[in-house]
Structure 1
């Protein structure tokens, strides 16, 4: 039987909430941050103890939140679209209160993004590929990776590909009739359930380091979004040519450690 751990989740949103359920289902003691009363109720129903934390302003409960925890998962979004040029400063300020609690005993798992490689990257992209972020959000999460690596003794960075799953239907990503550039570019996606499984896996195994988290198949935008739109009864976007040399995110490193995705085939065949 898996040893029972006390695990804290900072950011119980679209990814954090199913993570709460998965960890509680495995018998772990789960604590999760919340800012709204409605979320508090959902966390309790999912088997977690809610803590009113909103960094950096409401950081007082952090000590109790992290006391005797063996792992902390940070899933806070960087807010690049909303904050623009201020994203890095604001994001690092939100993380700053954690500095005093990153002990040698605490395993920190941070959900980053494959966006750190940039849109100009081509061919197979591994964890050794030099990051070249080109959006405010990607720059902020890369800055967070580096800030955390300077302070956390045991750090796992999971660079998640484009997320989809319940409430995030890829068929609705592009409006009907919209022109989408580089229709021949490969798709790099990961299902919510497989992202959750990756987090659970590194907590269970204690694996540290940086890992890409992405489905093994990479159909073109034209194929992937076109078929999904058709199945949803929507007109497909209009795809322009180009992008065939685009990046293909390689997640071999995490698979070698035993991570087995359920939604690995994006070919939709």
Structure 2
């Protein structure tokens, strides 16, 4: 059986994972917001579908058929996770789903003034975004799927470091 990853939100992290897994023989599909990015992703061998808040996947059952792994990287909006808001029932109905990864943030721990945190640290978000991520994590846990939460520190990728942002004004 071919392992299949479906990425809700093919951004920097998800695209890198998709490329790596395709090199290992995985089938990869996922979502983006624009037809231009959809065409670019398809050109790289990724089965891309349009998805945005208020615009769920068309034919979700067909798009998710055979999916064994899901990566969700879309941030919460207005107190809810947009993937679960649109496709909770579809995800719960998947047969053969082995793993769901949710990309969250270390912002769920709050400001620690340089102190260390780890996965056992209490959640104490100090920003609206951190609070929204805590709520989204709870929604994913409540879905009853085989969930793994990854709390990434900061936004990273080309042109996204704090130093580059300061230089850009």
CA distance in 2, matches of 1:127, 1:121: 17
**Cα 1:144–1:74 shift into 2, 3 Å:** same
The within-5 A match list for 1:186-265 is: none
Question: Given the two structures, how large is their TM-score scaled by the length of structure 1?
Answer: 0.55
Question: Given the two structures, how large is their TM-score scaled by the length of structure 2?
Answer: 0.84
Map of 1:105 onto structure 2: 96
Q: CA deviation at 1:133?
A: 0.8
Q: CA deviation at 1:44?
A: 1.3
RMSD over aligned Cα atoms: 2.4
Map of 2:56 onto structure 1: 58
> Is contact 1:109-1:158 (8 Å) kept?
yes
Gaps of 5+ in 1: 80-86, 179-269
The within-5 A match list for 1:36-185 is: 36-78=34-76, 87-88=78-79, 91-100=80-89, 101-102=91-92, 103=94, 105-106=96-97, 107-120=99-112, 123-175=115-167
Structure label with greater radius of gyration: 1
Partner SS, residue 102 of structure 2: strand
Q: CA deviation at 1:112?
A: 0.4
CA distance in 2, matches of 1:169, 1:130: 27
Over residues 35-71 of structure 1, what are the superposed CA-to-partner deviations in whole Å (9 max), with x where a residue is unaligned? 2121012211222111122244323332222111101
Gaps of 5+ in 2: none
Partner SS, residue 31 of structure 2: strand
Partner SS, residue 24 of structure 1: helix
Partner SS, residue 140 of structure 2: helix
**Cα 1:16–1:115 shift into 2, 3 Å:** same
CA distance in 1, matches of 2:159, 2:2: 31
CA distance in 2, matches of 1:155, 1:60: 24
Partner SS, residue 144 of structure 2: coil
